[in-house]
Amino acid sequence: MALIRYITEMGMGTDVHGQDYTKAACRAVSDALRHSSLNFFAALGKSPDDMQITVSIGVVAPELIDRDKVAKAFPYGTITVEPVIGGLDIASAQGKDAIVIANAAVVVCFDE
């Protein structure tokens, strides 16, 4: 069977204090999910659990992303989390803290 893409959704999240890339990533996923309302499952003969979801998370330090924690932000489907270089860190005026910005691209596919 082939995977067919049905949805691509984007989101952005930040951690203002603490430089927590996973927190910013989870907020980016939450932002993307809040933009979506999926109503086509019955028409496809599918359920939400049939979704094959790949989320690419762009942050300055992708190795610091907790993939399991980001995957738990999704209520349904089989989740693959792919941290990549991207996002943005904005240094504080004192240079001791940074605002972390993460971008999420959520792609939903079904086996057809």
Whole-angstrom Cα Rg for the chain: 15
Tokens 């430089």 belong to 19
The label of the residue with tokens 């691209």 reads 105
Contact 76, 61 (CB under 8 A): no
pLDDT less than 70: residues of the chain: none
For 20-35, write each residue's pLDDT tens digit.
Answer: 999 999 999 999 999 8
| Cα–Cα distance measured from residue 36 to residue 44, given in angstroms and rounded to the nearest whole number | 17
Q: pTM for the whole thing?
A: 0.91
pLDDT computed for residue 77 by the predictor:
95
